[in-house]
Structures are given as C-alpha cells and as structure tokens.
Amino acid sequence: MARKVTKAIFPVAGLGTRFLPATKSIPKEIMTLVDRPLIQYAIDEARAAGIKEFIFVTSRGKGALEDYFDHAPELESSLRKKGKDQLLEVLKSTNMESGAIAYIRQHKALGLGHAVWCARRLIAPNEPFAVILPDDVIAAEKPCLQQMTEAYDEIGGSMVAAMEVPPERASSYGVLDIREDMGSIVSVKGMVEKPKSNEAPSNLAVIGRYILSPKVLQNLNKIKSGAGGELQLTDAIALEIAEGRDVYGYRFRGQRFDCGSKAGFLQATVAFGLARPDLQTEFADYLRQMVSLQKAAQ
Ligand code: G1P
C-alpha cells in the first residue's frame, strides 16, 4: 500500500493581477466566496483528505494570509463575552495548530514548478505529497483531494486531477496524453503544458490537485523552463513517465470553478450562494427576478 499523504503544498505567491485593483492590497487567496476566503476552501479540502501539515509558498504582500490562520485572541474573547458561540466555532476552522503550518517565500515568479521546488526541503526523500492550487475551487460531495487519496491508496504512482475541457480550451491547461483509459483513472504516457490548440494530445486537462512522488522535486532540478518561459510542474511530472514511473489522471466527481478568472469567480459565488441553506431562498428568488428582467429587456 502506498504511504499516506499528510503534507500539502499551497502555491500562493501569484500577484493576482487579473483581480486588480482588489489584489493591490489583499492576496487573491483572501478574496471571498460568500463569506469564506478561497484559501479556506482549499484548507478544508486538504483536511478532509487527511493532510496534517500545510506548506504555503508565498511572496511579498501576502501577510494577510499568515494572519488569517493565526489565533485572534481579542476577537475570540469579545465573542466569548457576548456568548457568540456559533461564530467562535466558525473561527476555529481558521486556526492552525502551532507547527502545522509553514511559510516559504518564492522570491521570483518563475512558475508553478519553481514554487513547488521552493518547498523541497520540507518534504522527506520518501514522502509523497499533495499540491493544491486554491484558484481551482471544486464543489463535490466527497472533496476532490479525498477522492484522489483514496484512489492513490490503491494504485500509488503520481496522480493529477483531470477534467474534460472543450478542445479549443485545452491550450490553457496541462493536457494528458492517455495510455489507457480505465474510467475514473487514466494511465498517462505524456503530459504537455499549454499545448498549441492543434497539438493537444487529448482534451483531458489537469486541474489543480496533485499527489506527487517526492522524485518530482528532484525532476524539478533537471528540467529547463518550459511554456511561458516558466519552470512547469507539468514538465517535472512528465519526466516521471519518461523515467518509467507511473502517472495517473483522476477524473474527479464534482464541479470545478476557475476562480483565477472573473467569470469563474462569479459563477462560483452564485453556485456556493445557492448551496447555502441560510441564503438559498432569498438568493434564488433574486436570481429568478434578474433573469426575468433580463428576458423582458431583450
Ligand atoms: C496551472 C498548471 C496547469 C493546470 C492549471 C489548472 O496553470 O500549470 O497545468 O492545467 O493550473 O488550473 P495556470 O492556470 O496556473 O496557468
């Protein structure tokens, strides 16, 4: 049986320029879907999958992220005095045990592969690890990374979350070259980062959840910069295949939102708003009104 995955790397160093001016003073990962920052969704998903240690690869200007996971003694005592137990409970999910969280700085924006490489000293040579990209928010009955760790326990290797995308969108993703399609698990014979649209080996795209062999960290030392002039995680995983080790794509059950784009973020806000029992009725009524007003105006 494969070794349990207990560490996850969260690359959160990006500047978030697509969300300027908001991201001038707040990290993109603190932007909220309903009332929880993006990063909280990622952490909850990691915890559900059995992750115990959280490694954040950050950069300048991301201090708000560190504060977010810290205890807030004044706020907590004021809530306690007022008997606001429910809110205290909500705050608990933001607290990290001392020592469970580590921050590493990525000093230059050299790509996702480089960000993961920055955390290499925190991963033991025989230790598989997860990577979660908080921009990819996945609504699922069983959290996506948990689905993957369960599959990984059975099959081992390295594993990436995968999803079919329209062929004309494939060039925005890492794309899998399929060796054998076994349904939810796909054995992979190659991976290409952001292929030209006529060169994509399939339309099965990599989504931001990975369970990786520690060898991928060594591979990151061997590869050169790839698509966009950046050090690509996809290329380091592809080297696993070239060196004869197993790599799988995992078709997760769930809906993925690209919260790195404005349209995706808005869609996620609507979906998560509608899924919230405390907002559902009022929000759905409002959306219905909006739609009928739009129709009437056409
Ligand atoms: C990153 C990865 C890419 C993956 C994508 C999923 O790209 O490099 O392989 O398909 O995340 O969201 P980015 O979106 O950061 O350009």
Band (pLDDT 50/70/90 cuts) for residue 1 is low
In this structure, are residues 201 and 195 in contact, taking their beta carbons and an 8 Å threshold?
yes
Q: What's the CA-to-centroid distance between 53 and ligand 1, angstroms?
A: 23
Q: How many CA atoms lie within 13 A of 17 on its CB side?
A: 1
The pLDDT of residue 294 is 86
Examine residue 201 and state whether it is found in any structural domain, yes or no: yes
**Hey, what are 259's tokens?**
């919260």
Please state the φ and ψ torsions of residue 177, each to the nearest 5 degrees: -100, 115
Best residue for ligand 1 mutational test, from 106, 112, 117 (most atoms within 8 Å of Cβ): 112
pLDDT in tens, 206-243: 999 999 999 999 999 999 888 989 999 999 999 999 99
pLDDT beyond 90 at 297: no
Q: Into how many domains does the chain fold?
A: 1
Examine residue 1 and state whether it is found in any structural domain, yes or no: no
Examine residue 65 and state whether it is found in any structural domain, yes or no: yes
The pLDDT of residue 215 is 96
Examine residue 276 and state whether it is found in any structural domain, yes or no: no
Q: What's the CA-to-centroid distance between 204 and ligand 1, angstroms?
A: 13
Q: What's the CA-to-centroid distance between 4 and ligand 1, angstroms?
A: 25
Band (pLDDT 50/70/90 cuts) for residue 295 is confident
Examine residue 285 and state whether it is found in any structural domain, yes or no: no
The pLDDT of residue 162 is 98
Examine residue 220 and state whether it is found in any structural domain, yes or no: yes
Examine residue 297 and state whether it is found in any structural domain, yes or no: no
- Block residue for tokens 């959280």: 54
Whether residue 195 is preceded by a cis peptide bond, meaning omega within 30 degrees of 0, is: no
CATH code at position 109: 3.90.550.10
The pLDDT of residue 238 is 97
pLDDT in tens, 238-268: 999 999 999 999 999 999 999 999 999 999 9
Q: What range does the domain containing 58 cover?
A: 7-260
pLDDT in tens, 122-141: 999 999 999 999 999 999 99
Contacts of 210 (CB under 8 A, 6+ apart): 130, 131, 132, 158, 159, 160, 161, 233, 237
**Hey, what are 124's tokens?**
């033991």
pLDDT beyond 80 at 2: no
Task: Name the residue at shortest CA distance from atom 10 of ligand 1.
Answer: 173
Q: What's the CA-to-centroid distance between 122 and ligand 1, angstroms?
A: 23
Binding pocket residue ranges, ligand 1, CB within 6 Å: 112, 133, 136, 173-174, 193, 205-208, 233-234, 260
**Hey, what are 16's tokens?**
């978030």
Band (pLDDT 50/70/90 cuts) for residue 6 is very high
pLDDT in tens, 273-285: 999 999 999 999 9
Q: How many CA atoms lie within 13 A of 295 on its CB side?
A: 6
The rounded distance, in Å, linking the Cα atoms of 193 and 206 is: 9
The pLDDT of residue 165 is 96
In this structure, are residues 51 and 6 in contact, taking their beta carbons and an 8 Å threshold?
yes
